């Protein structure tokens, strides 16, 4: 919701009503790492996520808080506004004049913004735009057809959830007593999260069913890259055949974090060592074991796994990193200063070649169309095209760039926003 708002004439009566209910003015810039309960979270039409707290907001997953009025200029008309109750991004492909608009809810009013401008005619009473939906909401989140039965919005107030069908404007009220009261709700990578305190809980948007192992601390997932929260490094990274990336760090992965915990049926609380993908499968290496998953929607563990790494690839674990380059059946395994190559087409599989690396300890590595990235602590090293790496000794590899791991995460993960 990066919204540069046109100045719109707003009734002074409204300004008054906001000033009366203002109970959360934040003069000091809040620190996300301190454990914040967000008022609202929503992405804008470009996929940039906005986190609202009091009269501040954060743009994306890292960086400092900004005053909301810098981005939402019209909101400043309400001098004592102080907060946003709820926000979501409309999913309504049948109406291009509505699709991807950001809706902000303040007390009994709703504001619709598109490309940083307040839409004509807004703000409106919430009931004018969303009949049957109450004022003073706690949270809201969009739910496109396919995830909900039809394009819908879920509104939260206390224990009550209002399921609003966008086409028919029908409202169904449900009581999801098992879910914590959500102060904000967020759809991220087709999953639904209820934020409460500085924790969050995944829920199913139709049944309300809560995912296993929740709640979790939002600071470890949605704002981790911001430096005060932690030093940035990676444990393992790969991309599957569809280009979907998985990056692992500590007890979570930075992206599809949630997948990892609930889907990789292994104990990942102290991290994974290495991961690579091959032939629509994801190979996850931890200690002496390798786990192979189908890279489908369910990440099914293939029968017979985990197996000892030695049996599968001919290398004694543990390893530090692993990667493959597209179009070559060779996996590279990095262990300390050594890198082994193993031909996956050979039986039995064994080390074909061993080379020395100029690093004592590599955290993670990946190979893409633009070259190889080797992650070492808070930095990563980018090498020339993968074919050079696969055909020659590493010592002649040319480092193109040395960059911050954080920069990589920001570029390849956080900026993706919502798909």
Ligand X SMILES: *[C@@H]1O[C@H](CO)[C@@H](O)[C@H](O)[C@H]1NC(C)=O
Binding interface with ligand X (CB under 6 A): 67, 69-70, 76, 158-160, 181
**Structure-block tokens of residue 334:** 């990095």
Place of tokens 């001098």: 79
Cα–Cα distance for residue pair 190/164, rounded to 1 Å: 18
In angstroms, give the least distance from the CB of 126 to ligand X.
Answer: 18
CB nearer to ligand X: give 67 or 210.
67
Beta strands in 218-295 (DSSP E): 236-239, 245-249, 252-255, 274-278, 281-286, 289-294
Count of beta carbons in the 10 Å neighbourhood of residue 262: 15
In angstroms, give the least distance from the CB of 71 to ligand X.
Answer: 9
Place of tokens 């995912």: 211
CB nearer to ligand X: give 181 or 337.
181
Cα–Cα distance for residue pair 394/367, rounded to 1 Å: 14
Write out the H or E segment, with its range, that includes residue 410.
helix 405-412
Identify which of 241, 243, 171, 205 has the alpha carbon closest to the alpha carbon of residue 416: 243
Beta strands in 22-145 (DSSP E): 40-43, 49-53, 56-59, 66-67, 86-89, 102-106, 109-114, 117-118, 124-125, 139-143
CB nearer to ligand X: give 70 or 121.
70
CB nearer to ligand X: give 85 or 320.
85
CB nearer to ligand X: give 116 or 159.
159
How many angstroms separate the Cα of 249 from the Cα of each of 106, 226, 274, 409?
A: 37, 15, 10, 12
In angstroms, give the least distance from the CB of 398 to ligand X.
Answer: 47
CB nearer to ligand X: give 55 or 258.
55
In angstroms, give the least distance from the CB of 3 to ligand X.
Answer: 13
In angstroms, give the least distance from the CB of 74 to ligand X.
Answer: 10
In angstroms, give the least distance from the CB of 28 to ligand X.
Answer: 12
Write out the H or E segment, with its range, that includes residue 257.
helix 257-263
In angstroms, give the least distance from the CB of 73 to ligand X.
Answer: 6
In angstroms, give the least distance from the CB of 414 to ligand X.
Answer: 25
Cα–Cα distance for residue pair 237/241, rounded to 1 Å: 14
How many angstroms separate the Cα of 367 from the Cα of each of 108, 120, 252, 331?
A: 51, 48, 22, 10
CB nearer to ligand X: give 19 or 128.
19
**Structure-block tokens of residue 289:** 């074991």
Report whether the peptide linkage leading into residue 348 is cis, meaning its omega lies within 30 degrees of zero. yes
**Structure-block tokens of residue 13:** 């009566």
Nearest residue to the partner ligand X, using Cβ: 158
CB nearer to ligand X: give 203 or 293.
203
């Amino acid at each position: 919701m990066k919204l540069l708002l046109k100045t719109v004439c707003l009734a002074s009566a409204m300004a008054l009503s906001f000033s009366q209910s203002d109970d959360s003015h934040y003069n000091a810039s809040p620190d996300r790492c301190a454990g914040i309960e967000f008022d609202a979270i929503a992405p804008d039409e470009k996929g940039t996520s906005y986190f609202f707290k009091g009269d501040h907001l954060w743009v994306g997953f890292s960086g400092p808080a900004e005053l909301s009025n810098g981005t939402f200029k019209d909101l400043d008309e309400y001098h004592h506004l102080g907060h946003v109750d709820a926000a979501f991004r409309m999913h309504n492909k049948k109406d291009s004049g509505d699709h991807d608009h950001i809706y902000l809810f303040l007390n009994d009013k709703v504001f619709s913004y598109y490309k940083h401008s307040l839409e004509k005619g807004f703000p409106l009473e919430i009931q004018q735009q969303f009949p049957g939906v109450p004022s003073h909401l706690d949270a809201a989140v969009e739910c496109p057809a396919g995830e909900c039965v039809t394009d819908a919005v879920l509104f939260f107030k206390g224990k009550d959830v209002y399921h609003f069908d966008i086409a028919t404007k029908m409202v169904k009220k449900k009581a999801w007593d098992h879910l914590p009261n959500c102060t904000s709700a967020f759809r991220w990578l087709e999953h639904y999260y209820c934020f409460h305190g500085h924790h969050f809980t995944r829920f199913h948007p139709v049944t309300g069913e809560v995912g296993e192992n929740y709640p979790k601390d939002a600071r470890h997932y949605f704002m981790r890259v911001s430096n005060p929260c932690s030093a940035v490094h990676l444990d393992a990274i790969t991309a599957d055949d569809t280009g979907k990336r998985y990056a692992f760090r500590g007890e979570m992965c930075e992206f599809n974090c949630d997948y990892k915990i609930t889907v990789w049926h292994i104990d990942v609380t102290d991290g994974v060592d290495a991961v690579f993908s091959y032939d629509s499968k994801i190979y996850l290496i931890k200690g002496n074991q390798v786990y192979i998953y189908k890279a489908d929607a369910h990440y099914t563990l293939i029968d017979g796994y985990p197996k000892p790494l030695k049996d599968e690839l001919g290398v004694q674990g543990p390893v530090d990193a692993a990667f493959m380059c597209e179009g070559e059946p060779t996996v590279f395994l990095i262990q300390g200063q050594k890198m082994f190559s193993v031909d996956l087409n050979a039986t039995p599989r064994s080390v074909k070649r061993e080379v020395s690396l100029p690093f004592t300890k590599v955290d993670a590595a990946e190979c893409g169309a633009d070259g190889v990235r080797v992650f070492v602590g808070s930095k990563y090293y980018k090498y020339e095209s993968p074919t050079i790496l696969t055909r020659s000794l590493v010592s002649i590899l040319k480092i193109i760039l040395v960059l911050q791991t954080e920069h990589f995460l920001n570029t390849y993960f956080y900026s993706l926003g919502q798909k």
